[in-house]
Amino acid sequence: MNIGIVGLGLMGGSFAKAMKKYGIAKKVYGYARSEQSKKEIAELNLVDELVDMKTLKEKSDLIVLAIPVDNIITILPDLLDVNTNTTIMDLGSTKEYIVKNIPKEIRKNFVAAHPMCGSEKFGPKAAMDNLYEGKTVVLCDLEDNDKLHEQRAIKVFQDIGMRLVFMDSKNHDIHACYMSHLPHAISYSLANTVMGHEDPKSIIALAAGGFTDMSRIAKSSPDMWTDIFKQNKNNLLDSIDLFEEHMKKVRKMVENEEYDDLKQWMEKANTLHEIL
């Protein structure tokens, strides 16, 4: 099987590495727009050949879209002429808006997938061999795919060591919001709160594990996360409302010196890790 990857940053570059590591692809083709990205991809030997979109479509049995979610929407018209036996798969963090915008001509080809893995790093140099191993991938709305494309996607993810979860795109976006999108919004907010209050020297001197852990994902790509917040706007607003209610609650307990209630509230939060 020949695989073409559009976008070779963290997700796409790591996917290319996995294809080579497990010998899944006969040949891996890549497509990138910027000259800097092309240079880095070539230096890192992420793909067998960098090609234009026309060549990638003609030569690939599986086309993987590892680009920001708004760019996935933008590129869909360019894929209308793919062969009926060519699988198209995206790795976007939102699913419902993407699925709703897939043209009917390629809906049976298009597998909506979200690997639940990543890093705050981005670009071709962020690619790693084992990003996907042991992680979960959510496959959405497979009932709308031809069996060929459904089974091809399932096999590829299984071959690189991923756990499979099947879900409709609407529910995916709700759950992904609380597990990923809201934490990013909180992390960006924490970073801006601290930067607005502390001087840089104090941050460097006193930042310890808690702050470092919570602020780490604030280093993620603003371009990518602006698109995700935009596509999952309503779910994100709902989750922020709920989070704000908890912040008001903890503020009230501290303000009123209700420390027994505060302790119980914290103990309830501790139980999350019994599930995780």
Using one digit for the tens of pLDDT, what is the confidence trace for 246-275?
Answer: 999 999 999 999 999 999 999 999 998 787
At residue 274, the pLDDT reads 81
196's enclosing H/E stretch is helix 182-197
Q: Averaged in consecutive runs of 10 residues, what is the pLDDT profile of the chain (276 residues)? A: 96 96 95 93 96 97 97 97 97 97 97 92 91 96 97 97 97 96 95 82 73 85 94 97 97 97 95 80
Structural domains in the chain, sorted by start: 2-167 (3.40.50.720), 172-275 (1.10.3660.10)
Under 8 Å between Cβ of 247 and 253: no
Strand partners, 14: none
What would the DSSP string read from start to end of 2-37?
A: EEEEE--SHHHHHHHHHHHHTT--SEEEEE--SHHH
At residue 56, the pLDDT reads 97
Copy the structure tokens of residue 80.
């209308």
At residue 45, the pLDDT reads 94
At residue 195, the pLDDT reads 83
Rounded-to-integer distance, Cα 112 and Cα 110, Å: 6
Rounded-to-integer distance, Cα 153 and Cα 1, Å: 12
Rounded-to-integer distance, Cα 273 and Cα 213, Å: 16
Helix (H, G, I), strand (E, B) or coil at 39: helix
Copy the structure tokens of residue 65.
């879209």
